[in-house]
A and B are shown apart, each in its own frame.
Chain A
């Protein structure tokens, strides 16, 4: 009936040994929903906990235990490759009969077609869970490092600013106290001189603050023409690392054919990542079920791209609302989530530097809560999509 099983019969001994020693499982299946298998090699039991008899007898299908969040994407990629007779490579999760989910890598291609055109696929699937874990660990460490670096920079900056401000403040305070004495002693000429010095030092302190503001807003504003779809896809990949740790998913909704936007992609990425992270933290606080989704959406409205992050978290409490965008106001007070309270402030500054507005609203519909943060970006003037 099939090539593989025929060969299997002919050179059974040699192939049998080969299959037994494969670090994974070879298969042959039909490209139908949930991929019914007509042949699976011995490695399948080690991989998914189901025997080759069960899979070949189709009492359970491969797609039945493919992770429910991945099955649609795998199907899309396999079908796309099959329709062009191209080999495909996919990575996704399966839920084995026992134990936690596994990451697998699969490579396959169409070898034949049934009369009705259904593709017959042969391929190989292997466990890459440990590789994925290692990757995730590296990513987490990289994230932590970046966080520490940011904190360091912030710490150094704060120290420098504190020093620069303390000098004029010390002088002002001493001058004022002295002025009082001079007034009491009736030394008015000297007093006037001192008052001028106080004013000078106040201006000096003001200049420090002005310089500091200029520093934080000017930050090498590099405008690029950016494809919003690609930008959001990249962000999704980055944010998924954290989403997986928290057992949430990221639901990306982007309409087709969005025009290019003009922005500094790194800065916008930071803003969106921060919003996603905030949202996920709120969802964790709200004890959302594992697998809950945070939504990242782009829409085109009035020649502007609107980017929205919708979480299912606790929403923004009324008493937080006033200080939400102020530096060092954080509602993540304790534990790992304790925040610097700088994220939204910086985010707002970045978006405003791009000519947009960052805003939010609480979603309190049908008893479901959560919050939605959204901002707008201008589309590039020379829109060539």
Chain B
């Protein structure tokens, strides 16, 4: 999965210079001159991070952040701003910005931040992938298997489960083995752990 840096700044020179600097360090960059233009490109599969100005005509940086949060976009967001106020910084950080840098930005600092952002994004992607796998595995369970799995996770013994569901203990054991194999776990704790990750 290719990670990109999405640069959103209304100032062409800043956009260009930041892009060049990151290009020189081997990052793939994409520039947008306003927030709306970027929003229209956002898909759940985007990977990388965003560098955005706060003060922009039309939709400003904080509005962009709110919109992205609303869309469930988890791309790490680094703000760079010419004259940010403290309340602005507080709002940005509270809403999950990775950092808030003041222009003129220190080049090395920006590089480090982008590196951090990519690591975070990577972790996000892996977790997303993992969740997706788990979900597929869970979806492969039959209704009866899911019922059995729920009760197993609740800590009930096979005998009790059999009684609860009105089936034989032997049948419970078969379902239980099938659940373990479909979810690719071997022990009860592993089952509980994998089960909790998704639900």
Contact = CB atoms under 8 A, between A and B. Distances in A.
Contacts of A173: 17, 104-105, 107
Interface string A183-200: 001000000001001001
Given A167-B13, A168-B13, A194-B20, A174 B82 contact: no
B103 interface: yes
Contacts of A172: 17, 104
Contacts of A162: 82-83
B83 A174 contact: no
A177 interface: yes
B13 A169 contact: no
Contacts of B16: 171, 197
Contacts of A167: 11, 13-14, 82, 103
Nearest to A194: B20
Interface of chain A: mostly helix, strand, loop or mixed: helix
B107 A197 contact: no
A139 interface: no
Interface string A146-181: 000000000000010011001111111111011001
B98 to A, nearest CB: 19
B55 interface: yes
* Among all A-B residue pairs, the 6 with the closest Cβ atoms: A174-B17, A171-B13, A163-B82, A171-B17, A166-B82, A166-B103
17 contacts: A163-B55, A166-B104, A167-B11, A168-B13, A169-B103, A170-B14, A170-B18, A170-B82, A170-B105, A174-B17, A174-B21, A178-B17, A178-B20, A181-B25, A194-B20, A197-B16, A204-B13
Contacts, number: 65
A201 to B, nearest CB: 6
A201 B104 CA distance: 13
Contacts of A204: 13
A201 B16 CA distance: 12
B21 A177 contact: yes
A175 B20 contact: yes
Interface residues of A, number: 23
Nearest to B24: A181
A351 interface: no
A168 B16 CA distance: 11
Interface in B96-118: 102-105, 107
Contacts of A169: 103-104
A81 interface: no
A52 B17 CA distance: 88
Contact of A174 (B55, B102, B107): B107
A182 interface: yes
B29 to A, nearest CB: 12
B103 A170 contact: yes
Given A185-B24, A197-B13, 6 more contacts: A167-B103, A170-B82, A171-B13, A172-B17, A173-B105, A174-B17
A169 B14 CA distance: 9
A163 B108 CA distance: 22
B18 A174 contact: yes
A177 B55 CA distance: 25
Nearest to A177: B107
A30 to B, nearest CB: 70
Contacts of B102: 166
A162 B25 CA distance: 29
